[in-house]
Structure formats: structure tokens, C-alpha cells
Amino acid sequence: MNGVLRLVLVLTLITAGAGLILSLVESATREPIAEQRRLATLRALKAVLPPADNSPDEDTVQLLIGQDRRGRDLMRTFFRGRQEGELSGIAFKVVAPDGYSGNITVMVGVTPEGTVAGIEILTHNETPGLGDKIELPAFKEIFAGKNLENADWRVKKDGGEFDQITGATISPRAVVGAVRNGLEFFRDHRVEVLAEAKGEKP
């Protein structure tokens, strides 16, 4: 066989074989992976929402929150929890871009009136042992029961009422700021977030 032709043929056969195997594995794992991602979201939703008996990830509203640097639309998804058909709470993700290293994404749960029910830190790259204490229950619990009226949304060092963590002020400050922005957005768009809920079945 011609030398070059053999090279091409063997390499083509190997890549074709690899492609075949990968497509088989992909189709076998597609459903479990989707299920795992859904469970991870559901776990976070359960942690921040008031008790709900529906699947909040199937009852959502998407709203435009602005444009990114390239001018593409940024959407925020609002997950709605219901107890016996009544709206019990709304959860949404906020991103704190001003953490100590990289973005911190936070899931925030609020009551329909806009009071925080709970928060959950989804992803972060804060320093282990210092900034990562924002993951501790002691820090996350401070947020429950607070809303834009009854609390000063700053860390204590800045004159507010949120305990910063010893040795780390930047990470809590970023989280507090992001949650406050999220609450303000919810307050300004409360009608749209709740309104669509009426017409749909729970």
C-alpha cells in the first residue's frame, strides 16, 4: 500500500472508531447527567426556599437583567416554589463579581413580599480557610428574615449590620452586595415575577 495513503487511512479509522465510541457513551450518559444537574439545582432550591411541594425548577420566569460586555442579553431565571398551589417563595441566582478571586454565585430565596428566606453559595474560589467561610451556616443564616427595609445592607466594617468574617471582609462584602442587588431587582420587577404565576397551572 502507498505510504501516505496508509497514514491517512489508519488515522481516519482510529478517529472514526473514537467518534463512534464517544457517541455511544454520550447517548448512554445524557439522561443521568441531565438528572444530576437538575438534582444539584433542586438541592440548592430546597435549601433557600420556604417549604414547597411543587418542583420549583419547572415553574420559572425569565427576565432580562441587562447586557454583557459583548451586548448579548443576560437573563435571570426566577424559580417559584408553591405550597398547595399558593406561591410560597421565589428563588434566583445572583453573581458577585467583586469577590477576592473570581465570581461568587449565590442562590437567594425570598418570600413573595421580598424578605430573604435563605441563601446558598453555589460556586466560589475564595481563599480556603478565610474567604470560604461564607459557606458556613453561621454566615448564611444572618440573611434569613432580612429585607430592604429592615436591614442596612452593608458589612459591619462599612457601617452596616452584617458580620464580616475575621480576616476576610472582601468575600462577605461581595455576597452582601450581590444579594442586595438581587433584592432590589426583585422589588422593581416584583409584578412581572409574580404576575405570570396567576394564569399558569401550578
Partner 1 sequence: MTLNQDFRKGFWRENAVFRLLLGLCPALAVTTSAENGLGMGLATTFVLVCSNIVVSSLRKVIPAKVRIPSFIVIIASFVTVVQLCMEAYVYDLYKALGIFIPLIVVNCLILGRAEAFASKNRLLPAVADGMGMGLGFTLALFVLGAVRELFGSGTLLGYAVFGSSYQPLLLMILPPGAFIAMGLLLAGMNLLDARQR
Residues lying near partner 1 in the complex (CB under 8 A): 3, 6-7, 10-11, 14-15, 18, 21-22, 25-26, 29, 32-33, 36, 39-40, 127-130
Q: Which C-beta is closer to partner 1: that of 116 or that of 165?
A: 165
Q: What are phi and psi of 162, to 5 degrees?
A: -100, 125
Q: Which C-beta is closer to partner 1: that of 33 or that of 75?
A: 33
Least distance from partner 1 to the Cβ atom of residue 39, Å: 8
Minimal CA–CA distance to 80: which of 106, 63, 58? 58
Residues near 164 by Cβ (< 8 Å), separated by ≥ 6? 155, 156, 157, 172, 173
Q: Round to whole Å and give the CA distance between 173 and 181.
A: 12
Q: Which C-beta is closer to partner 1: that of 46 or that of 189?
A: 46
Least distance from partner 1 to the Cβ atom of residue 4, Å: 9
Least distance from partner 1 to the Cβ atom of residue 47, Å: 15
Q: Which C-beta is closer to partner 1: that of 60 or that of 127?
A: 127
Least distance from partner 1 to the Cβ atom of residue 197, Å: 31
Q: Which C-beta is closer to partner 1: that of 34 or that of 64?
A: 34
Least distance from partner 1 to the Cβ atom of residue 147, Å: 32
Between vectors from CA 158 to CA 152 and to CA 163, what angle results, nearest 5°?
70
Strand-strand pairing, 116-123 and 73-83: unpaired
